[in-house]
Amino acid sequence: MTATGTDPRALLQIATNVAREAAELAHRMRQTAIGVVLLRGDYSYRSSYDTRPNAGLPEFTKQDGFGLLNARLALTLPGEELELALFGKNLTDQEYIVESIAFGPPVGLLVSTPGVPRTWGLTATLHFD
């Protein structure tokens, strides 16, 4: 489900289920002298979970709940052929574990995969027929 329009209050989208909550805000501004500007932000929350539920090591594999904040600012130039965008993901640099692998006795090793740290970048998209 996506909300569209020009009123920022009408653009709020909330998706909820037992494990996750997400909110998205997007606003397409009016045509300016240099093109159309799009501002988009989203926030998602994941409640606590066990990264390896069958490992029997909840004190090591439990991930507390966390939220991720992302944003994007894009400019579509007149003629709509070129879009330039600045984006950022995990803007608060939240540290979290995605999953874990446990190697039980006799090894006794737990390997975890961290979530993606704060990232940002620039994109240029060329549309042509």
Alpha-carbon distances of 59 from 51, 53, 108, 120, rounded to whole Å: 11, 11, 14, 33
Q: What is the pLDDT of residue 115?
A: 95
Q: How confident is the model at residue 22 (pLDDT cuts 50, 70, 90)?
A: low
**Span 103-128, mean pLDDT?**
88
Domain limits of the chain? 8-126
Buried b (16+ CB within 10 A) or exposed e, 22-52: bebbbbbeeeeeebbebebbbbeebeeeebb
Asked if pLDDT for residue 19 goes beyond 80, the answer is no
Of 99, 96, 102, whose CA–CA distance to 51 is shortest? 99
Q: What is the pLDDT of residue 106?
A: 66
Indicate the pLDDT class of residue 68, thresholds 50, 70 and 90: very high
